[in-house]
Amino acid sequence: MSKLGELEVLLIDAKGLVDTDAIGKIDPYVEIQYRDQEQKSKISRDQGRNPSWNQKFKFKVHFPFLENAIQHKLILRIMDYDTFTSDDFLGLATINVGDVIALGIEKGFRELQPTKYRVVRQDKSYHGEIRVGVSFRLKVSISLALVYYLSYDILNEWEYIISIQMANVTRLCSTKSILTVNGQFPGPKIVAREGDRVVVNVTNHAQYNVTIHWHGVRQLRSGWADGPAYVTQCPIQTGQSYIYNFTIIGQRGTLFWHAHISWLRATLYGPIIILPKLGLPYPFTKPYKELPVIFGEWWKADTEAIISQALQTGAGPNVSDAYTINGLPGPLYTSCSTKDTFKLKVKPGKTYLLRLINAAVNDELFFSIANHSVTVVDVDAAYVKPFDAATILISPGQTSNVLLRTKRSYPMAMFFMTARPYSNGAVGTYDNSTVAGILEYENPKSFSSAAFNKNLSLYKPSLPVFNDTSFAASFSGKLRSLATAQFPAKVLQTVDRRFFFTVGLGMSPCPANQTCQGPNGSKFAASVNNISFATPTTMALLQAHYFGKTKGVYTTDFPVYPLMPFNYTGTPPNNTLVSNGTKVVALPFNTSVELVLQDTSILGAESHPLHLHGYNFFVVGQGSGNYDPTKDPAKFNLVDPVERNTVGVPAGGWVAIRFLADNPGVWFMHCHIEAHLSWGLKMAWVVQDGSLPTQKLPPPPSDLPKC
């Protein structure tokens, strides 16, 4: 076994093979990859010269810290770069340490052969990708600009180095400074396979304190890496770093990462792509290509100032100015937003996997592609029984993989891809605008390098009305776990503990000598079982739990059912004020839990996408009106209910979930509508250690941020 070492690759003059001919190291903005043979290779200006298309670049491989280095070999995995799915593996190329790699680049559009490699030198405004398999234990530290694959022993590890920094971005005719990762908006993707370890070294160069949450990742025995501020960690302060270390277990599909403090996730977010284990195909048609489609919101103003003002005055926060697809608002807003339009360019007769992510701050969204339907195959990184849909409903915090099958022949048209809000609440206003991208077909008969005709008819989809609750109920009712022998639905048939939580909006009294702009001169508030959660500031909940220093941080007397029952979806009680506190529910390890979440109509019925950290759960039942504990359980689906990490509690209705508390730590549960989260619609579960070493929370890492 070799020592841990750094992988160093030197760029060598193509005419020479000696060290003195080195042009320089390959830095984090160089890409080594196999490219689909129908794509033309590129060499950027950063190469320091103007090479011809038929030039070969040669790289000498050095492993300076390895014992008996000459006995080890570097294995490059040749993959179909455009899709990079498990069954796109094309072969291996073995390079001995000290060998020179000749990466051929051939002239012409369709002459790049599958046995060749290419090298692309990227400037720092573009972040390429590298995927390399190494047959021995080796540590490689590179920028998040590179995505790479390490294979050694049993464990695969992906390491990312990211920088939180401010960057100027222009949208809707105006420019503002926003929080980004590596200057990218949206942020770069995190890629791993099921069973892999992911290590992310985050350094904060911005003026805001920051945390990163890996939304939907189970974090089995790695709660220190979960990310919500003051729940599992104190924020990363300016100039400080923190390493998030976790393993992907039993998940494959699409999740996403985002900031988890204040409203910083308005711009600080990006996709998490979890590929199946190597050699394990998808349980659906192999896609020709895959790509993330991320929905977001854009404010011209500073979102930190918006939520700060709202909390001060007690009013609802100002709504966004636009929705975005992959950071772009599209042509339906202003004349200058037309250039900022997401375009999905496709070929006829192909299948594309769209990885949908709702990273919007405050809104559930309908999404549709004109004259096309999609097949839903996955939600929240869990496979579902496939079904076709012309329109998708996706709540903040939810993800979904859908297959888009393009038309068999060139349609001589373009098609809008649009999204707009689903809003059924009676409280406040919402951004009632529509974001649009464009689906464009490549004309197979065109010999143009672009092969896309801009002078075509443009079709628009028809979306449900903004408050179409019947569509929402129908769509969610179609979601069922795949429930096969290979991917079983492990639904709890019995439970140890039952909980009944009300979720909804309420009011807090206006402080003395202040004028408030909430209902009846009060402040907007939100609660779970009428407890509006007060976030600690001196110590994170997980630290207090682990070190036994809970006094003054939290109490374990969170009510398991409403202390003052009422007609939850009918006439509200006279007292609509919420209580405040930092209260949690404590659970013994391996407790089986059933939780009913009931919406209330105190300030008007409204749907709430509830997200549970650290767990997936099964949605065993849902309905309208008040939950009936004597009749409704008989209707529960205990065979193939959908498995999720974020579920929409219906407006004026209820949802029932089940999960096994097999992950020790402190786990946040909250509404993923950021306004409701800011008002207090959140709580936490404390899951105790089990008796075995593998059932206990490990100690915190040495670099855990301090408050």
Whether 164 has a pLDDT exceeding 50, the answer reads yes
- Whose tokens are 């100027």? That residue is 168
**From residue 509, how far is each of 514, 522, 532 by CA, in Å?**
10, 5, 13
pLDDT digits (tens, 9 = 90+) for 299-342: 999 999 999 999 999 999 999 999 999 999 999 999 889 999 99
Average pLDDT over residues 543-549: 97
Whether 76 has a pLDDT exceeding 60, the answer reads no
Whether 124 has a pLDDT exceeding 90, the answer reads no
Give the pLDDT confidence score for residue 109 in this predicted structure.
25
- Which stretch of DSSP H or E encloses residue 23? strand 22-25
DSSP label of 359:
-
Whether 547 has a pLDDT exceeding 90, the answer reads yes
**From residue 49, how far is each of 111, 123, 279, 568 by CA, in Å?**
23, 14, 40, 71
Q: pLDDT higher for 148 or 175? A: 175
Cα distance between the two ends of the chain: 41
Average pLDDT over residues 52-79: 35
Q: Which of 51-55, 351-355, 506-510 has the lowest mean pLDDT?
A: 51-55
DSSP label of 406:
-
**Strand order of the sheet with strand 665-671?**
584-587, 682-687, 665-671, 608-612, 646-649
Alpha-carbon span 109 to 444, nearest angstrom: 14
Whether 94 has a pLDDT exceeding 70, the answer reads no
Give the pLDDT confidence score for residue 159 in this predicted structure.
85
Q: Which amino acid is at 606?
A: E
β partners of residue 670: 611, 682
Could you tell me if 505 and 678 are in contact, meaning their C-beta atoms sit under 8 angstroms apart?
A: no
Q: Which of 10-14, 250-254, 684-688 has the lowest mean pLDDT?
A: 10-14
Confidence tier at 455 by pLDDT (50, 70, 90) = confident
pLDDT digits (tens, 9 = 90+) for 238-257: 999 999 999 999 999 999 99
Give the pLDDT confidence score for residue 447 in this predicted structure.
54
pLDDT digits (tens, 9 = 90+) for 583-631: 999 999 999 999 999 999 999 889 999 999 999 999 999 999 999 999 9
Give the pLDDT confidence score for residue 8 in this predicted structure.
36
pLDDT digits (tens, 9 = 90+) for 202-236: 999 999 999 999 999 999 999 999 999 999 999 99
Whether 96 has a pLDDT exceeding 90, the answer reads no
Could you tell me if 110 and 37 are in contact, meaning their C-beta atoms sit under 8 angstroms apart?
A: yes
Whether 45 has a pLDDT exceeding 70, the answer reads no
**From residue 293, how far is each of 42, 60, 288, 343, 357 by CA, in Å?**
25, 38, 16, 11, 6
Could you tell me if 520 and 496 are in contact, meaning their C-beta atoms sit under 8 angstroms apart?
A: no
- Whose tokens are 């390098």? That residue is 449
Whether 415 has a pLDDT exceeding 50, the answer reads yes
Give the pLDDT confidence score for residue 445 in this predicted structure.
76
The residues, ordered by sequence, that sit 6+ positions from 540 with a Cβ below 8 Å of its Cβ are 229, 230, 231, 232, 233, 234, 707
β partners of residue 421: 365
Average pLDDT over residues 358-386: 98
DSSP label of 335:
G
Nearest to 378 by CA among 651, 82, 622, 616: 616
Give the pLDDT confidence score for residue 426 in this predicted structure.
54
Ranges of beta strands (E only) in 269-363 are 269-275, 289-298, 322-325, 343-346, 351-358
Q: How many helices (H) and strands (E) does the chain have?
A: 4, 43
Alpha-carbon span 83 to 205, nearest angstrom: 33
Give the pLDDT confidence score for residue 427 in this predicted structure.
56
Q: The pTM is what?
A: 0.81
